[in-house]
Amino acid sequence: MTALAAIQAALASALRGHAPLASQVSGIHYGPPPRATYPYVAIGGAASSDWSHKTARGREVRIGASVWDDDADRAVALADVLETAIETMPRMVGGHRIVSLVHLRTRMLRERGDGPWAGIVAYRARTMEE
């Protein structure tokens, strides 16, 4: 399994298995779901690049997820819970060891004045093949 696929699967599993998050959202989905009820979590795309050295193969994987809600205060609170859930990811995933998992940023956005809020959480995972 590639590091990218392993990290994405571990992310989904961690979010779905994190009771404080799962109990407060209507669902956890890959990408924006059709006709979902707020609040919900959408796992975003990921990007992978080489992070190898002389004696081992490694990858740097950028991952993210967003919490969508029509209530700004609840969206902010759920973005914090989302960060905590991401940090529960196991450190061994699909033949890869996560050697670092670093929070990059959390942003709160609203595309339209009357639209839902998005709490976008981004992390960087660096892995080594085992």
Structure confidence by residue, pLDDT tens digits, 12-59: 999 999 999 999 999 999 988 988 999 999 999 899 999 999 999 999
Rounded average pLDDT over 79-90: 97
Indicate which CATH number applies to the domain containing 62. Answer: 3.30.2000.30
Residue 40, pLDDT score: 97
Rounded average pLDDT over 92-103: 96
Count of structural domains within the chain:
1
Residue 22, pLDDT score: 97
Torsion of CA 97, 78, 45, 58, to 10 degrees: -20
> In terms of Cα–Cα distance, which of 54, 56, 64, 49 is closest to 126?
49
Residue 126, Cβ density class (10 Å: 0-12 exposed, 13-18 middle, ≥19 buried): middle
pTM (global) more than 0.75: yes
- What residues make up the domain containing 39? 3-129
> In terms of Cα–Cα distance, which of 69, 46, 73 is closest to 127?
46
